[in-house]
Amino acid sequence: MSRIQRDVVILIVVAIFIGVAAYFAFPLSKTNLGLDLQGGLSVILEAKDTSDENFSGKMDRAVEIIQSRVNKLGVAEPEIQLQGGSKISIQLPGIDNPEQAMEIIGKTAVLEFFDVKDFGTPYASEAEALAVAGVASADDLPEGTELIFWPVRGDAASDQYFIVSAEPALTGDLLKDAQSSFESLNNNPKVDMQFTSEGADLFAQVTKRMAETAQITGQDQLLAIVLDGVVESAPRVLEEISGGNAEITGKFTREETQNLALVLQTGALPIELQAVSQNEIGATLGKAALNQALLAGLVGVALVIVFMIAYYRLLGVVASIALIVYAILFMGILNAIGVTMTLPGIAGMILTFGMAVDANVLIFARMRDEVAAGKTIGAATSAGFGKAFRAVFDCNMTTIITAIILFWAASGGIRGFALTLGIGVALSFLTAVLVSRSLLSVLSGWSLFQKRKLLGLHIPHAKTLSPDEGGRS
Taking the least distance from each CB to another protein, the nearer of 193 and 457 is 457
- Residue from 241, 357, 377, 435 in contact with another protein (CB under 8 A): 357
- Residue from 191, 206, 222, 421 in contact with another protein (CB under 8 A): 421
- Residue from 62, 334, 373, 432 in contact with another protein (CB under 8 A): 373
Taking the least distance from each CB to another protein, the nearer of 22 and 401 is 401
Q: Cβ distance 457 to 388 under 8 Å?
A: no
What does the per-residue mask of binding to another protein show for 297-316, with x meaning CB under 8 A? x-xxx-xx--xx--x-----
Q: Cβ distance 145 to 168 under 8 Å?
A: no
Pick from 135, 375, 372, 106: which is nearest to 259 by CA?
106
For another protein (CB under 8 A), the number of binding residues is 93
> Would you list the DSSP string of 124-140?
SSHHHHHHHHT-SSGGG
Smallest gap from Cβ 82 to another protein, in A, equals: 16
Residues pairing with 146 in the sheet: 164
In this structure, how many other beta carbons lie within 10 angstroms of the beta carbon of residue 51? 6
- Residue from 57, 124, 411, 446 in contact with another protein (CB under 8 A): 411
Smallest gap from Cβ 424 to another protein, in A, equals: 12
Residues pairing with 91 in the sheet: 42, 79
Contacts to another protein from residues 433-472, by CB under 8 A: 457, 459-460, 462-465, 467, 469-472
Taking the least distance from each CB to another protein, the nearer of 175 and 323 is 323
Q: Does 39 bind another protein (CB under 8 A)?
A: yes
In this structure, how many other beta carbons lie within 10 angstroms of the beta carbon of residue 416? 26
- Report helix, strand or coil for 111: strand
Alpha helices (H) in 246-282, listed in sequence order:
254-266
Taking the least distance from each CB to another protein, the nearer of 190 and 313 is 313
Contacts to another protein from residues 139-198, by CB under 8 A: none
- Residue from 355, 419, 423, 455 in contact with another protein (CB under 8 A): 355
Pick from 32, 100, 38: which is nearest to 282 by CA?
38
What does the per-residue mask of binding to another protein show for 94-133, with x meaning CB under 8 A? -----x--x-------------------------------
- Round to whole Å and give the CA distance between 376 and 364: 14
- Round to whole Å and give the CA distance between 185 and 48: 41
- Round to whole Å and give the CA distance between 439 and 448: 13
Residues pairing with 162 in the sheet: 148
Smallest gap from Cβ 283 to another protein, in A, equals: 5
In this structure, how many other beta carbons lie within 10 angstroms of the beta carbon of residue 459? 14
Taking the least distance from each CB to another protein, the nearer of 4 and 310 is 310
Pick from 163, 439, 169: which is nearest to 321 by CA?
439
Helices (H) and strands (E) in the chain, counts: 13, 15
Smallest gap from Cβ 450 to another protein, in A, equals: 18
- Residue from 92, 328, 334, 383 in contact with another protein (CB under 8 A): 383
Q: Cβ distance 418 to 348 under 8 Å?
A: yes
Taking the least distance from each CB to another protein, the nearer of 281 and 433 is 281
Radius of gyration of the chain (CA): 35
What does the per-residue mask of binding to another protein show for 44-83, with x meaning CB under 8 A? x-x-------------------------------------
Contacts to another protein from residues 243-302, by CB under 8 A: 274-285, 287-289, 292-293, 295-297, 299-301
Smallest gap from Cβ 93 to another protein, in A, equals: 14
